Structure 1
Amino acid sequence: MELLEKLDAAYLQALSQLQLNKNVKKELAIVYTPLHGAGLVPTMRGLQSFGFTNAHLVQQQAIQDGEFPTVIYPNPEEPDAFQLAIELGKQVGAQLLLATDPDADRLGVAVLVDGAYKLLTGNQLGALLLHYILSSQTVPSNAAMIKTIVTSEFGTAVAQKHGVATVNTLTGFKYIAEKIAEWEQTGEHEFVFGYEESYGYLKGVFVRDKDAVQIALLTAEMAAYYAANGGQTLADVLTALYEELGYYQEALVSLTYEGIEGQQKIASIMAALRQQPPTQFANIAVRKTEDYLKESINGLPQADVLKFLLEDDSWICVRPSGTEPKCKFYIGVKTESGFESEQKIAQLKLALQQWT
């Protein structure tokens, strides 16, 4: 037990080094749920050590239980997982809801907007955190952030705004960790932040995988900082970034094909897209097709992935899941308004039906 306590203390000490604005008022009302998982102790201790005095725990979900009795599926990407957090948030007047998944490597966030809680996407939270981090510290001249090829270009635009390079990897946080280790050896870049659209983020390199605990604390600090400086919510900051950089929006169409026949169906989809590559989607011309299986693109390992870059800066990426019997279609767009982005996403989803 002494060893475990030492590890906990070392981790908590490392978390404390991530604070960017230590003196900001920490009175923001926060609700946190570990969804019956491992995030409970480090996250609550971390919030306390960061100075948050108004953090509330969803007690029904504080008991570690592999049956997850209070949720259908303990996934912080799903609105249903926030049901009890929303109920408590309304009771205590919380401006921010935090949920870590059972093994505490992914974080879901909801913010209060016009009296209702709105879940942020992984792409949105990643861009917000990147902007906050780069705005709150001196940025090294060789700084770079890392994201996956299916993660929004919104983060790329934020990084460019701050003069920071963006490096893309294949899907999977192990590839981000590999880049961090590589740069420590070569000095080519200094890592400032890494994330993927599926709710995984990393700031402190004392962890070499996505870490929901450190990001929960940084998100709480970020929300408190903007609340104390101009009374802004995270939704306000997000809107301001959209107005400045363009309205980026993403969608994921994930189709399940079970069994051997399902594997064959997924293979046939990928083969058809390669044999007769689309020249347009929803009347938007394909500017470039990237086939990660046929060649090494930007030095990345070969993989069964296709990415179609469209003339209007939209993109579509297709890949078989590495862990589930699914074929995944990722869509990214950029327009001048949120309404236009929603329309374009809908059009591209419709255009994909011929390939499924």
Structure 2
Amino acid sequence: MSTLIDLYNKWLQQDLPPLLEKELTAIGTDEKAIEDRFYQYVSFGTGGMRGLLGAGTNRMNVFTIRRGAEGLARFITSNGEDAKKRGVAIAYDTRHFSFEFAVETARVLGAHGITSYVYKESRPTPQLSFTIRELNTFAGVVITASHNPKQYNGFKVYGEDGAQLVPTGANAIIQHMDEIEDIFAIATINTDILEQQGLLNWLSIDLDEKYMKNLLTLKENTNIDLNMKIVYTPLHGAGLVPVTDGLKQFGFKHVHLVEQQVVQDGAFPTVTYPNPEEAAAFSLAIELGQQVGADLLLATDPDADRLGVAVRSGNGYELLTGNELGALLLHYILQTKQANGTLPDNGVMIKTIVTSELGAAIAEQFGVTTINTLTGFKYIAEKIAEFEATKSHSYVFGYEESYGYLIETFARDKDAVQVALKVAEMAAHYATEGKTLLHALNELNEQFGYYEEALISKTFEGKDGQEQMKAILNHYHENIPTKIAGIAVTHVEDYLTGVVTLQDGSTESILLPKENVLKLVLEDCSWIAIRPSGTEPKCKFYFGVVKESAEQAKEAINILMKYFTS
């Protein structure tokens, strides 16, 4: 503890921003508070860092941002002068300090002679991905904590293909970060000097126009009801302009905005969690939907990479899960391409290992191959790049259960803007047949079976919590049950060892990167997956079943969940 106290005192001796100085002074001799802020650096997990805003090495602040930017700068420098000249595209969402952190990143990069291209205002994360590809930069950074509460922010790094970094690149940056001896000695250059030297360039609206031009290529179906009433909320985030402009240019005549949530505000004053996966985030949208008689409600998270959807059902609205919306989109896209004669013979759909198997069943019906990846859209993007190079498959759709989807590959990360437009088109198409998305989903269930999924997240805060989570994960890896709720385990997929163990004891190799994920598949095709979150201090338990009726599916999923929570 004495080492942490010394580190705490060293921070207090620096010329800190007033808010950071006030926070450190306020915790005084509270050893627990000091430990929580200084026992580690903010971890560089899924493509970057994400953490609480505040003072200390285990918080997101100007100094930990500089550390991440310095690691990135050294990585770029190691790739030569061309990489430095191509530079880095930088975007940010509407969170507290997002703009400041973006500029600070450019100041560190500039000290290494690396060019930055920075948006003047907030932009969606998928637009950052598009911008990297459009400008041919060597890397990209987006300042965001996605759908986390207002107390968080983050620093996410992208490669030259516009995708989040896979472990090889991320590990190289981490190594450079670990070599930094003094976080307070990281060099920066003032923005006015960088502008004069051409090392800081502010991006103009022509990139917005190019992004929109690509978005409009998503419109494939003219048999749609353009009078359908839509409610959209950006949840105080960056999706406002591209989603509303896109819907307008698609031809929709009745798009209603949740005015209280149009304001770009990092405090997210109308929601506790700005997360479209949460029903509470739709409360104002539902209220407006009732007033205007909307058929469809759309919500994007602060950086507009996740989309949530609610559909009119009787006198109220029903939220679709990420798995349900993914299945609907996949079926609609394949159906439309088949009708238009544009469905490729070697089509491929990519999903994650914790995403519903309904998508695989739908893809099979259309002769489309399903590829499973580890959790994280970076792995889906990696497969897209692989198939572009080998020409072995033609990408048609990719998704994950956590409300992330990608249709067209001009972006290489989940893109809620793309999907908002496509969902509106899909709902408007079914409207011409007198159906809602719920009707269409029920038809899929009747055809392919009733799939039900669930997720339990357990939070482990602080140093003690992290140790507890490691112990839980180790327990499951070392104590594999032969039966769960009376149903035999037919095979175990251990992604940490890269081995599948079958019921008879034989083994097979897993041809995916190694990660701390365990998946158990049961005799009745039910499955359970356990993994730590890459962005939050959580252990996640995923469940999936398929049965002949909705009632049977709900009963089966509840039995599995009870087994792991009792």
Amino acid at match of 2:476: L
Could you tell me which residue of structure 2 aligns to residue 174 of structure 1?
Answer: 378
Could you tell me which residue of structure 2 aligns to residue 304 of structure 1?
Answer: 516
Aligned to 1:223, the other structure's residue is in SS state helix
Confirm or deny that 1:284 pairs with 2:496.
no
Confirm or deny that 1:45 pairs with 2:245.
yes
1:253-308 CA-partner distances (Å, limit 9, x unpaired): 11112222222222222222222211111111100001011126542101111000
> Pairwise mapping of residues 15-94 of structure 1 onto structure 2 (< 5 A)?
15-94=215-294
Confirm or deny that 1:206 pairs with 2:406.
no
In 1, the alpha carbon distance for the partners of 2:315 and 2:536 equals 37
From the superposition, tell whether residues 51 and 287 of structure 1 become closer, same or farther in structure 2 (CA, over 3 Å): same
In 1, the alpha carbon distance for the partners of 2:284 and 2:462 equals 36
> Pairwise mapping of residues 207-246 of structure 1 onto structure 2 (< 5 A)?
207-228=411-432, 230-246=433-449
Q: State TM-score, norm by structure 1.
A: 0.97
1:85-107 CA-partner distances (Å, limit 9, x unpaired): 00110111101000000100000
1:294-345 CA-partner distances (Å, limit 9, x unpaired): 1265421011110000000000000111222211110000001111111111
Structure 2 gaps, min length 5:
1-119, 121-201, 500-508
Amino acid at match of 2:431: A
Aligned to 1:193, the other structure's residue is in SS state strand
Compute the displacement of 1:188 (Å). Answer: 1.3
Report if the CA contact (8 A) 1:74-1:81 is conserved.
Answer: yes
1:173-225 CA-partner distances (Å, limit 9, x unpaired): 11111111111111111100000000000001000100000100000000000
In 1, the alpha carbon distance for the partners of 2:298 and 2:547 equals 29
Aligned to 1:27, the other structure's residue is in SS state coil
From the superposition, tell whether residues 139 and 298 of structure 1 become closer, same or farther in structure 2 (CA, over 3 Å): farther
The equivalent position to 2:477 in structure 1, one of 274, 292, 302, is 274
1:73-125 CA-partner distances (Å, limit 9, x unpaired): 11000111111100110111101000000100000000011121000000000
In 2, the alpha carbon distance for the partners of 1:4 and 1:284 equals 59
Report if the CA contact (8 A) 2:223-2:429 is conserved.
Answer: no
Q: Which has the higher contact order (CA 8 A, sep 6+)?
A: 1
Structure 1 gaps, min length 5:
none
Confirm or deny that 1:154 pairs with 2:358.
yes
Amino acid at match of 1:324: E
In 1, the alpha carbon distance for the partners of 2:295 and 2:259 equals 18
Report if the CA contact (8 A) 1:281-1:352 is conserved.
Answer: no
The equivalent position to 1:189 in structure 2, one of 393, 414, 437, is 393
Aligned to 1:136, the other structure's residue is in SS state helix
Could you tell me which residue of structure 2 aligns to residue 4 of structure 1?
Answer: 204
The CA RMSD over aligned residues, in Å, is: 1.3
Amino acid at match of 1:260: K
Could you tell me which residue of structure 2 aligns to residue 250 of structure 1?
Answer: 453
Moved more, 238-247 or 263-272: 263-272
Report if the CA contact (8 A) 2:356-2:451 is conserved.
Answer: yes
Runs of 4+ in 1 over 3 A off after TM superposition: none
From the superposition, tell whether residues 39 and 112 of structure 1 become closer, same or farther in structure 2 (CA, over 3 Å): same
Structure 1 or 2, whichever has the larger Rg, is: 2
Could you tell me which residue of structure 2 aligns to residue 352 of structure 1?
Answer: 564
In 1, the alpha carbon distance for the partners of 2:300 and 2:409 equals 19
Confirm or deny that 1:323 pairs with 2:535.
yes
Amino acid at match of 1:239: N
The equivalent position to 2:554 in structure 1, one of 334, 342, 345, is 342
Amino acid at match of 1:313: C
Compute the displacement of 1:71 (Å). Answer: 1.0
1:60-83 CA-partner distances (Å, limit 9, x unpaired): 111100011111111000111111
Compute the displacement of 1:4 (Å). Answer: 2.3
In 2, the alpha carbon distance for the partners of 1:74 and 1:303 equals 28
Q: State TM-score, norm by structure 2.
A: 0.61
Amino acid at match of 2:473: M
Could you tell me which residue of structure 2 aligns to residue 101 of structure 1?
Answer: 301
Compute the displacement of 1:3 (Å). Answer: 4.8
Could you tell me which residue of structure 1 aligns to residue 332 of structure 2?
Answer: 132
Moved more, 144-153 or 269-278: 269-278
Confirm or deny that 1:13 pairs with 2:242.
no
Report if the CA contact (8 A) 2:404-2:414 is conserved.
Answer: yes
